[in-house]
Structure 1
Amino acid sequence: MKNILLFGAGKSATSLIDYLLTNAPRQKWHLTVADHDLSLIKSKTGKSYYATPAALDINDQAARLQLIRETDLVISLLPASLHILVARDCLEAKKNLLTASYIDPEVRKLQADIENAGLLFMYEMGLDPGIDHMSAMKLIHSIEKKGGQIFSFKSYCGGLISPDSNDNPWQYKVSWNARNIVLAGSSGATYKEKGKVKELSYEQLFDHTKTIHVPGLGKLAFYPNRDSLTYMEEYKLTELATFMRATLRFPDFCEGWNALIKLGLTEDKHKIATDQLTYIDWATRLVHEQSGSHEENLAQFLGVSTKSKVIRQLKFLGLLSPDVINLGDKTNAEILQFLVEFKLRMEPADKDMIVMMHEIEFERRNMATRMHSYMIVQGEDNIHTAMAKTVGLPLGIMAKLLLQEKITLTGLHIPVMPEIYNPILKELEDYDIRFEESFE
Structure 2
Amino acid sequence: MKHVLLFGAGKSATCLIDYLLANAPKYKWHLTVVDSDLLLIKSKIGKSYYASPAAIDIKDQAERQKLIQETDLVISLLPPHLHITIAKDCLKFKKNLLTASYIDPEISKLAKDIEDANLLFMYEMGLDPGIDHMSAMKLIHSIEKKGGQIFSFKSYCGGLVSPDSNDNPWEYKISWNARNVVLAGSSGAIYREKGKIKELGYKQLFDHNKTVNIPGLGKLAFYPNRDSLNYIDLYNLQNIPTFMRATLRYPDFCEGWNALIKLGLTKDADKFDTSNLSFLKWSTRAVKMDKSLTIEDNMANFLGVTGKSKVIKQLKFLGIFSEELINLGDKNDAEILQHVLENQLRMEPHDKDMIVMLHEIDFERRDLNTKMQSYMIVQGEDNLRTAMAKTVGLPLGILAKMVLLDKVDLKGLHIPVLPSIYNPVLKELEEHDIRFEEIFD
TM-score w.r.t. structure 1 length?
0.99
Identity %: 74
Displacement of 1:208 after TM fit?
Answer: 4.2
Residue equivalent to 1:403: 404
Matches within 5 A, 1:7-406: 7-291=7-291, 292-406=293-407
Task: Judge conservation of contact 1:374–1:435 (CA < 8 Å) in 2.
Answer: yes
Question: Which amino acid is the alignment partner of residue 56 of structure 2?
Answer: L
Structure 1 gap ranges (5+):
none
Structure 1: how far apart are the matches of 2:358 and 2:297? Answer: 40
Moved runs in structure 1, 4+ residues, more than 2 A?
289-295
Structure 2: how far apart are the matches of 1:54 and 1:309? Answer: 46
Task: Judge conservation of contact 1:354–1:387 (CA < 8 Å) in 2.
Answer: yes
Task: Judge conservation of contact 1:346–1:382 (CA < 8 Å) in 2.
Answer: yes
Displacement of 1:294 after TM fit?
Answer: 2.8
SS at match of 1:374: strand
SS at match of 2:207: helix
Structure 2: how far apart are the matches of 1:86 and 1:276? Answer: 40
Task: Judge conservation of contact 1:189–1:225 (CA < 8 Å) in 2.
Answer: yes
Structure 2: how far apart are the matches of 1:295 and 1:329? Answer: 28
Q: In the TM superposition, what whole-angstrom CA distance separates every residue of 1:233-260 from its partner, at most 9, and x where no partner exists?
A: 0000010000000000000000000000
Q: In the TM superposition, what whole-angstrom CA distance separates every residue of 1:350-373 from its partner, at most 9, and x where no partner exists?
A: 000000000000000000000000
TM-score w.r.t. structure 2 length?
0.99
Structure 2 gap ranges (5+):
none
Q: In the TM superposition, what whole-angstrom CA distance separates every residue of 1:137-195 from its partner, at most 9, and x where no partner exists?
A: 00000000000000000000000000000000000000000000001011111000000
Question: Which amino acid is the alignment partner of residue 336 of structure 2?
Answer: I
Q: In the TM superposition, what whole-angstrom CA distance separates every residue of 1:21-66 from its partner, at most 9, and x where no partner exists?
A: 0000111100000000000000000000000000010111111111
Q: In the TM superposition, what whole-angstrom CA distance separates every residue of 1:185-222 from its partner, at most 9, and x where no partner exists?
A: 11111000000000011111111411000000000000
Q: In the TM superposition, what whole-angstrom CA distance separates every residue of 1:254-291 from its partner, at most 9, and x where no partner exists?
A: 00000000111000111011100000100000112334
Q: In the TM superposition, what whole-angstrom CA distance separates every residue of 1:283-310 from its partner, at most 9, and x where no partner exists?
A: 0001123342332221111001111100
**Alignment size in residue pairs:** 440
Task: Judge conservation of contact 1:208–1:223 (CA < 8 Å) in 2.
Answer: no
Task: Judge conservation of contact 1:5–1:67 (CA < 8 Å) in 2.
Answer: yes
SS at match of 2:4: strand
Structure 1: how far apart are the matches of 2:80 and 2:162? Answer: 27
Structure 2: how far apart are the matches of 1:192 and 1:7? Answer: 37
Bigger shift: residues 134-143 or 402-411? 402-411
Structure 1: how far apart are the matches of 2:208 and 2:51? Answer: 47
CA RMSD of aligned residues (A): 0.6
